[in-house]
């Protein structure tokens, strides 16, 4: 074959089936891997080359089915129907065959060329499950490749099979028989459907089934022309007849038959089926503690508390090391520049502007690395789903959803992926509410502000002070969610139907990959946006030419002086605080960076300036302001992408008003009391 036609393969699979690992193993891409429902919510594309052919891999959202009820399912189905990829690799968790095959059956009914990647066979084996792949190939009429994606096992074979299948597509495989009555109905519908859409005759049976099942999207898309009216008429006749003849409603009957068939397949192809309770016994034992009526919530809170202790206790000495490194770098560069008699402004730009700004941000890399390591561990071990389980009643009372909890926790790391993660929420209302309050979850970029201020003003209780800020953010999130729910959505809530995957020990590699990604993202941000902002601020602080660096006479000083009176009621009406907060909208890390750049020092020197300017009370008010006011630009963009401009603007407006109000109230009330 000489034609080097581009091959496109879609990757489909249940959440928790190891689809993301497989995607990584196939394409070598780097992205996060999770163990809670729906980590892969974006459309991701990767590539691999096999024998000179380029194969594009499209990662579909993880779904349990191809019904049109959730956003993820709609996205996946829309792609498969409209784009018709050359093949679909269906990732199947070997230890949970029957339910995973449900998606495979729907893919086959859609007319897709399916290759089954029977994944996590190692875990299945350890649970006493052995799958006869030859038999599975025979009954489903598809190629089956066993893989252990997390270890890279079976990936080359999979690439070969995908490559070969495109050259010689197999005959259309499986047709599930739905029994005499339903089959007669399908047959009756196929004629009018083919007449209405001649181009889609290969999907006619699938469409007939969907119409019979009452699939809202299929019904809505019927159209209004004469042919569609014929389809609709026939549908009404067939439905009426089936309602009479079946003892179940049509939808239930269809799904029941499908599962009936798959139950047979699973039994036929699985050997040594151990008792469910024995297989999940370890998970069961852990769950009996972790979701226990009395200790479940304390354990959850303890884990959250432990996370912060870890971030501080282990992070602090490492941060000290980085701080000293940057101090040393600054002095080496300034003495080096003095040696070659470089102009004073260059030394000022490098040492005060760039090293001061970037250095005071990079100091926090250890804290952030540890935080993300813990989050990755919680996600990949399977604990996140338990956290949602344990907290759902509470979240539900507060007007949110147990699944909202997952994006909220991720929000502690970074609000941007957290907001993306809200796509797992099925109802638009829950999604928008969770998105809107997410910026109140204190992301890791705000941590540097707390660490610095709490360290300077509350050194003995800094852990407690920082914890109180996180807690305040959560409380505010709840109150705001209630308020917005009451104002914008006065309807009932979305269902909670959530898989609880078995626990497994995450590999060190996947944790490190996750950690590295996040740390790298942070460092890159520090290296680019933050360095750039540092230079801009240095410029503003140095202009007009000849003023004392970052004095009130400089451009920046004048800008800050304009804004400062607004901050006076909150106890920190200094021009340089106003400037730092304004710059912080670019990225919250920049708040401290800007202060560092203005005062020309890393955190060490900055501490003295802070001590002269703030009291513990105004420092706390400032931390609250930093927590609440305006999400960073990246977060605003994410909110706009997941919702629309209206909600993005609302999030900017309410956070600014709320932050300012809280800071003022804290300072004023606190001043009265003390």
Partner 1 sequence: MKPLSELGVGERGVVRELSGNPASKRRLLSMGFVPGAVVDVLRKAPMGDPVAFAVKDYCISLRKEEAAQVAVEPVEELSLASAPVGARLVVTGMRAGWGMRHRLRRLGVGPGSELVKLSGSGHGQVLVVLGGREEHLGQGIARRLLVRLAGEAG
Interface residues with partner 1 (CB under 8 A) are 64-65, 67, 69-70, 96-99, 102, 214, 248, 251-252, 255-256, 259-260, 276-277, 279-281, 283-285, 287-288, 291-294, 296-297, 385, 389-390, 392-394, 396, 402, 426, 495-502
Nearest C-alpha neighbor of 11 from the set 35, 32, 42: 42
Which is closer to partner 1, CB of 495 or CB of 565?
Answer: 495
Nearest C-alpha neighbor of 67 from the set 389, 431, 406, 426: 426
Nearest C-alpha neighbor of 584 from the set 630, 544, 638: 630
Q: How far is the CB of 449 from partner 1 (least distance, A)?
A: 34
Q: How far is the CB of 254 from partner 1 (least distance, A)?
A: 9
Q: How far is the CB of 9 from partner 1 (least distance, A)?
A: 24
Q: How far is the CB of 125 from partner 1 (least distance, A)?
A: 15
d(CA 574, CA 580): 10
If you count them, how many residues does the chain have? 674
- Verify cis geometry, omega within 30 degrees of 0, for the bond prior to 216: no
Q: How far is the CB of 497 from partner 1 (least distance, A)?
A: 5
Which is closer to partner 1, CB of 389 or CB of 412?
Answer: 389
Which is closer to partner 1, CB of 182 or CB of 194?
Answer: 182
Which is closer to partner 1, CB of 124 or CB of 145?
Answer: 124
d(CA 287, CA 119): 25
Q: How far is the CB of 382 from partner 1 (least distance, A)?
A: 10
Place of tokens 């005759």: 201
CB 328 within 8 A of CB 556: no
Please, what sign has the CA dihedral across residues 448, 380, 383, 497?
positive
Q: How far is the CB of 487 from partner 1 (least distance, A)?
A: 24
Q: How far is the CB of 263 from partner 1 (least distance, A)?
A: 8
Calculate Rg over the CA atoms of the chain. Answer: 29
d(CA 128, CA 135): 18
Strands 44-50, 53-59: pairing is: antiparallel
Inter-CA distances, 280 with 127, 286, 307, Å: 8, 10, 28
How many C-beta neighbours within 10 Å does residue 230 have? 15
Q: Which two tokens stand for residue 356?
A: 């001061």
Which is closer to partner 1, CB of 94 or CB of 155?
Answer: 94
Which is closer to partner 1, CB of 180 or CB of 293?
Answer: 293
Q: How far is the CB of 83 from partner 1 (least distance, A)?
A: 23
Which is closer to partner 1, CB of 69 or CB of 645?
Answer: 69
Which is closer to partner 1, CB of 240 or CB of 248?
Answer: 248
d(CA 89, CA 173): 15
d(CA 275, CA 80): 37
The string over 455-475, giving b where at least 16 C-beta atoms fall within 10 Å of a residue's C-beta and e elsewhere, is bbbbeeebbebbbbbbebbbe
DSSP secondary structure letters along 182-205: HHHHHHHHHHHHHHH-GGGGGGHH
d(CA 143, CA 160): 11
Q: How far is the CB of 78 from partner 1 (least distance, A)?
A: 17
CB 47 within 8 A of CB 28: no
Residue 586 is given by DSSP the state T
Which is closer to partner 1, CB of 70 or CB of 146?
Answer: 70
Please provide the distance, in angstroms rounded to a whole number, between the alpha carbons at the two ends of the chain.
Answer: 84
Which is closer to partner 1, CB of 105 or CB of 369?
Answer: 105
Residue 248 is given by DSSP the state S
Q: How far is the CB of 250 from partner 1 (least distance, A)?
A: 12
Which is closer to partner 1, CB of 274 or CB of 657?
Answer: 274
Reduce the secondary structure of 260-328 to three states and give it as a string. Answer: HHHHHHHHHHEECCCCHHHHCHHHHHHHHHHCCCCCHHHHHHHHHHHHHHHHHHCHHHHHHHHHHHHHH
Which is closer to partner 1, CB of 277 or CB of 339?
Answer: 277
Inter-CA distances, 417 with 389, 402, 486, 635, Å: 21, 18, 27, 9
Which is closer to partner 1, CB of 478 or CB of 636?
Answer: 478
Contacts of 277 (CB under 8 A, 6+ apart): 284
d(CA 286, CA 454): 37
DSSP secondary structure letters along 81-97: HHH--SEEEEEEEGGGH
Which is closer to partner 1, CB of 389 or CB of 458?
Answer: 389
Q: How far is the CB of 18 from partner 1 (least distance, A)?
A: 15
Q: How far is the CB of 664 from partner 1 (least distance, A)?
A: 36
Nearest C-alpha neighbor of 467 from the set 593, 627, 323: 627
Inter-CA distances, 139 with 111, 164, 262, 266, Å: 16, 21, 10, 10
Strands 114-119, 87-93: pairing is: parallel
Q: How far is the CB of 163 from partner 1 (least distance, A)?
A: 32
Q: How far is the CB of 27 from partner 1 (least distance, A)?
A: 28
Which is closer to partner 1, CB of 34 or CB of 502?
Answer: 502
Which is closer to partner 1, CB of 355 or CB of 432?
Answer: 432
Q: How far is the CB of 350 from partner 1 (least distance, A)?
A: 56
Q: How far is the CB of 424 from partner 1 (least distance, A)?
A: 13
Which is closer to partner 1, CB of 224 or CB of 492?
Answer: 492
């Amino acid at each position: 074959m000489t034609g080097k036609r581009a091959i496109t393969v879609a990757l489909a699979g249940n959440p928790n089936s190891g689809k993301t690992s497989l995607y990584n193993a196939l394409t070598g891409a780097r992205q996060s891997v999770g163990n809670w429902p729906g980590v892969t919510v974006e459309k991701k594309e990767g590539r691999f080359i096999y024998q000179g052919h380029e194969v594009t891999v499209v990662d579909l959202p993880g779904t349990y089915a191809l019904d049109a009820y959730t956003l993820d399912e709609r996205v996946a189905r829309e792609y498969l129907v409209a784009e018709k990829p050359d093949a679909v690799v269906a990732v199947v968790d070997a230890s949970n065959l029957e339910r995973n095959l449900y998606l495979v059956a729907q893919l086959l009914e859609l007319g897709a060329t399916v290759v089954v990647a029977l994944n996590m066979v190692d875990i299945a084996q350890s649970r006493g499950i052995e799958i006869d792949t030859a038999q599975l190939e025979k009954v489903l009429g598809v190629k089956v490749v066993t893989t252990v994606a997390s270890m890279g096992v079976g990936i080359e074979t999979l690439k070969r099979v995908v490559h070969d299948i495109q050259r010689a597509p197999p005959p259309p495989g499986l047709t599930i028989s739905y029994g005499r009555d339903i089959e007669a109905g399908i047959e009756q519908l196929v004629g009018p459907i083919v007449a209405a859409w001649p181009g889609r005759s290969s999907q006619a049976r699938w469409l007939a089934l969907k119409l019979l099942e009452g699939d809202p999207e299929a019904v809505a898309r019927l159209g209004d022309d004469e042919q569609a009216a014929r389809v609709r008429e026939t549908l009404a006749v067939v439905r009426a007849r089936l309602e009479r003849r079946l003892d179940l409603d049509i939808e239930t009957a269809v799904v029941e038959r499908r599962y009936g068939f798959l139950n047979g397949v699973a039994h036929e192809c699985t050997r040594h089926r151990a008792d469910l309770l024995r297989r999940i016994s370890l998970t069961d034992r852990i769950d009996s503690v972790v979701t226990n009526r009395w200790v479940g919530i304390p354990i959850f809170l303890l884990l959250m508390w432990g996370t912060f202790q870890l971030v501080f206790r282990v992070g602090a000495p490492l941060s000290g090391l980085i701080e000293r490194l940057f101090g040393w770098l600054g002095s080496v560069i300034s003495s080096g520049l003095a040696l070659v008699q470089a102009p004073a402004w260059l030394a000022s730009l490098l040492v005060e502007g760039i090293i001061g700004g970037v250095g005071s941000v990079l100091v926090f890399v250890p804290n952030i690395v540890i935080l993300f390591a813990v989050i990755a561990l919680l996600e990949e071990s399977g604990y996140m789903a338990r956290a949602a389980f344990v907290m759902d009643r509470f979240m539900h009372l507060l007007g949110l959803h147990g699944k909202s909890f997952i994006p909220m926790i991720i929000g502690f790391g970074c609000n941007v992926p957290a907001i993306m993660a809200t796509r797992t929420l099925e109802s638009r209302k829950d999604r928008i509410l969770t998105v809107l309050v997410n910026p109140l979850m204190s992301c890791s970029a705000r941590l540097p502000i707390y660490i610095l201020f709490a360290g300077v003003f509350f050194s003995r209780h800094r852990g407690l002070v920082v914890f109180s800020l996180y807690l305040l953010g959560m409380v505010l999130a709840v109150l705001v969610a209630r308020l917005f729910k009451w104002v914008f959505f006065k309807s009932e809530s979305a269902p909670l139907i959530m898989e609880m995957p078995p626990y497994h020990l995450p590999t060190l590699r996947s944790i490190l990959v996750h950690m590295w990604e996040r740390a790298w993202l942070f460092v890159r941000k520090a290296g680019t946006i933050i360095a750039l902002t540092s230079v801009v601020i240095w410029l503003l602080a140095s202009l007009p030419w000849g003023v004392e660096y970052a004095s009130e006479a400089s451009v920046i000083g004048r800008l800050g002086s304009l804004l400062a009176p607004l901050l006076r009621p909150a106890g920190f009406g200094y021009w340089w605080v106003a400037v730092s907060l304004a710059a912080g909208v670019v990225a919250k890390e920049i708040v401290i960076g800007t202060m560092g750049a203005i005062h020309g020092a890393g955190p060490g020197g900055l501490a003295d300036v802070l001590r002269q300017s703030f009291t513990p009370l105004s420092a706390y008010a400032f931390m609250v302001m930093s927590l609440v006011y305006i999400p960073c630009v990246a977060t605003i963009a994410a909110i706009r992408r997941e919702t629309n401009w209206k909600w993005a603007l609302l999030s900017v407006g309410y956070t600014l008003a709320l932050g300012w109000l809280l800071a003022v109230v804290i300072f004023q009330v606190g001043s009265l009391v003390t």
